[in-house]
Amino acid sequence: MKLRLLVIGRGSRELSEFEARFLERLKPFAACQVIELPEGRGKQVSQRKQEEAKQILKHAGSGFVLFDERGLLNGSKQWAGHLGSLAGDAQLDFVIGGADGVADEVRRAAGACWSLSRLTLPHQLVRAVVLEQLYRAFTIIQGHPYHRV
């Protein structure tokens, strides 16, 4: 399985070690890469969102999962169920928008829209949480004791 995390903007130096740890832990389960896309440079929010939308739609494969505060709240076991239902050679993209959110056309193009929380989270933190949850989902599928409830 191939997973890509498409993110607008750069990650946080403070979280880079955490991200690297989970990218390494994901290797036995799936090839996973983080692809940073440029932030929009427009003066207005709508301009920035449009610039970012072009980048997202250019790079994201069909059926991508968009993280958005208005999305469906899934638990770790639902993530595991979703990943477990995919074929072994599947590619799935996860998209994290920029600080201003995403344009409506990105939301419409998404195969699924998920929320991590009803809280508004910084997109750099969302990156770290998504990588950890992907790892957690694979450990649930494998029956590994990492996931304790």
Sequence ranges of the domains in the chain:
2-142
Does domain 2-142 fall under CATH 3.40.1280.10? My reply is yes
| pTM above threshold 0.85 | yes
Q: Is 121 annotated as a binding residue?
A: yes
Q: Is 118 annotated as a binding residue?
A: yes
Q: Is 92 annotated as a binding residue?
A: no
How far apart (Å, rounded) are the C-alpha atoms in residues 103 and 108?
Answer: 9
10 Å CB burial of residue 23 (0-12, 13-18, 19+) is: middle
Q: Is 116 annotated as a binding residue?
A: yes
The rounded average pLDDT for each run of 10 residues, N- to C-terminus, in the chain (149 residues) is 96 93 96 96 95 97 93 94 87 94 96 92 92 96 85
Q: Is 120 annotated as a binding residue?
A: yes
